[in-house]
């Protein structure tokens, strides 16, 4: 914790309190090829990620100096509310710039937790930008990206364009011209820890796939051409830990998706559809078949923030 910073329980500001309110869009992995674990513990990867129309909402409000607090208004996050990735983002800025004011952040958490959708990373990136604006800090893009890398491998992506090719451990970004693809997002409500999936991934050799053909199909913007080139070798480990994920993918395609696959480390399953109307039909079919607590969303990939 930053010297002089208190994380005592600070009351959440009222919904109409002055401040800044931002949306934190989740992401999906259209393509993910993980390499062999490096000596430093990280995995080299090639990943095509794109933000989607599933959002958390973050309200950032000025507070007395030295205060840095976070509230989850829906009480959905199991992490320490005063030491989560959002507070770590604000404290990184506080340590560097020593602002006169403090900050209280209130999160309306709608993106499923532990889902492979990057919700925490999206929250952290949004906190970096929003706290900078509220405190009127002179942070450059390079400084924000450096802080983002310290917070997590996916956080830099959420500071950039809606779609990107991510390499290295996720910090090297090549922006892509984004296309709107109709999708169905299905989370069965069973969190799967990323660290457990990577541990399982490392237990045996895995197949690999180069990204070039996928990028060509992605640039064309046609779902039917893209579907057969979607790839995720990390999903093999997720399926070994949670075998029911295979049945979810089969069920999603049987409902009408062109292709179903696991996003990131799972357990969220994504269905690519030919049109938004088709995605709506697929989602309606699934809702009639699965328990009510499952998260099912018919939406699109985003082309702008």
Q: What is the pLDDT of residues 78-127, one digit of tens each?
A: 555 566 899 999 999 999 999 999 999 999 999 998 899 999 999 999 99
- Residue 170's pLDDT is 84
Which whole number is the average pLDDT over 299-303?
98
Q: What is the dihedral of CA 92, 115, 286, 243, to 10 degrees?
A: 170
Q: Which residues pair with 297 in a beta bridge?
A: 185
pLDDT at residue 158 tops 90? yes
- Residue 208's pLDDT is 97
**Residue 4, in any domain of the structure:** no
**Residue 10, in any domain of the structure:** no
CB neighbours of 254 closer than 8 A, spacing ≥ 6? none
Q: Which residues pair with 96 in a beta bridge?
A: none
Distances (CA, A) of 304 to 20, 25, 57, 166, 273: 20, 11, 17, 18, 20
Q: Are residues 194 and 296 in the same domain?
A: yes
pLDDT at residue 245 tops 90? yes
Residue 154 appears among annotated catalytic residues: yes
User: Domain boundary at 147, 175, 203, which?
Assistant: 175
Contact at 8 Å (CB) between 249 and 262?
yes
**Residue 3, in any domain of the structure:** no
Which whole number is the average pLDDT over 28-55?
96
Strands 20-34 and 231-232, by their bridges, are parallel
Which whole number is the average pLDDT over 158-180?
95
**Residue 205, in any domain of the structure:** yes
pLDDT at residue 195 tops 90? yes
Cα–Cα dist 296/8, whole Å: 36
pLDDT at residue 13 tops 70? no
Tell me the whole-structure pTM to 2 decimals: 0.91
Q: Are residues 235 and 195 in the same domain?
A: yes
CB neighbours of 243 closer than 8 A, spacing ≥ 6? none
- Residue 83's pLDDT is 66
Q: Are residues 290 and 198 in the same domain?
A: yes
The answer, yes or no, to whether the previous bond of 104 is cis (omega within 30 of 0) is: no
Q: Are residues 25 and 83 in the same domain?
A: yes
Both tokens assigned to 124: 């952290």
- Residue 114's pLDDT is 86
Strands 68-72 and 102-108, by their bridges, are parallel
**Residue 123, in any domain of the structure:** yes
Q: What is the dihedral of CA 45, 184, 27, 113, to 10 degrees?
A: -100
> What is the full DSSP assignment across 201-232?
HTTS------SHHHHHHHHHT-HHHHGGG-EE
In percent, the amount of the chain with pLDDT more than 90 equals 82
235: domain CATH number is 3.30.70.890
**Residue 2, in any domain of the structure:** no
pLDDT at residue 47 tops 70? yes
User: Domain boundary at 128, 154, 175, which?
Assistant: 175
pLDDT at residue 259 tops 50? yes
Residue 109 appears among annotated catalytic residues: no
The answer, yes or no, to whether the previous bond of 197 is cis (omega within 30 of 0) is: no
Q: Are residues 51 and 166 in the same domain?
A: yes
Residue 165 phi, psi (nearest 5): -90, 120
- pLDDT range class, residue 72, cuts 50, 70, 90: confident
Q: Are residues 169 and 232 in the same domain?
A: no
Contact at 8 Å (CB) between 162 and 142?
no
Both tokens assigned to 240: 């070994």
The more confidently predicted of residues 190 and 303 is 303
Structurally, the chain folds into a number of domains equal to: 2
- pLDDT range class, residue 290, cuts 50, 70, 90: very high
Catalytic site residue from 27, 33, 56, 72: 27
Catalytic site residue from 16, 154, 276, 280: 154
Residue span of the structural domain in which 118 resides:
20-175
């Amino acid at each position: 914790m930053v010297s002089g910073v208190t994380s005592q329980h600070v009351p959440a500001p009222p919904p109409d309190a002055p401040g800044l309110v931002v949306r934190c869009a989740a992401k999906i992995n259209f393509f993910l090829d993980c390499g062999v674990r490096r000596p430093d513990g990280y995995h080299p990867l090639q990943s095509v990620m794109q933000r989607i129309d599933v959002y958390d909402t973050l309200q950032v409000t000025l507070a007395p100096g030295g205060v840095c607090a976070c509230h989850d208004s829906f009480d959905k996050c199991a992490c320490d509310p005063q030491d989560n990735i959002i507070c770590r983002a604000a404290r990184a800025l506080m340590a560097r710039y020593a602002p006169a004011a403090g900050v209280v952040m209130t999160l309306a958490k709608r993106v499923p937790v532990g889902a492979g959708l990057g919700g925490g990373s999206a929250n952290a990136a949004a906190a970096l930008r929003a706290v900078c604006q509220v405190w009127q800090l002179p942070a450059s893009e390079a400084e924000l990206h450096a802080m983002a890398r310290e917070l997590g491998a996916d956080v830099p992506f959420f500071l950039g364009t809606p779609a990107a090719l991510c390499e290295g451990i996720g910090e090297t970004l090549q922006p892509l011209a984004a296309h709107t693809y109709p999708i169905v997002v299905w989370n069965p409500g069973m969190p799967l820890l990323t660290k457990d999936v990577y541990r399982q991934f490392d237990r045996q050799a895995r197949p690999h796939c180069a990204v070039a053909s996928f990028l060509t199909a992605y640039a064309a913007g046609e779902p039917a051409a893209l579907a057969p080139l979607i790839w995720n070798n990390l999903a093999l480990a997720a399926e070994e830990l949670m075998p029911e994920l295979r049945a979810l993918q089969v069920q999603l395609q049987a409902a009408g998706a062109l292709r179903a696959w696991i996003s990131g480390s799972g357990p969220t399953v994504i269905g690519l559809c030919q049109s938004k109307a088709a995605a709506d039909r697929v989602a309606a079919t699934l809702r009639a078949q699965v328990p009510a607590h499952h998260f099912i969303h018919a939406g699109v990939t985003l082309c702008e923030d």
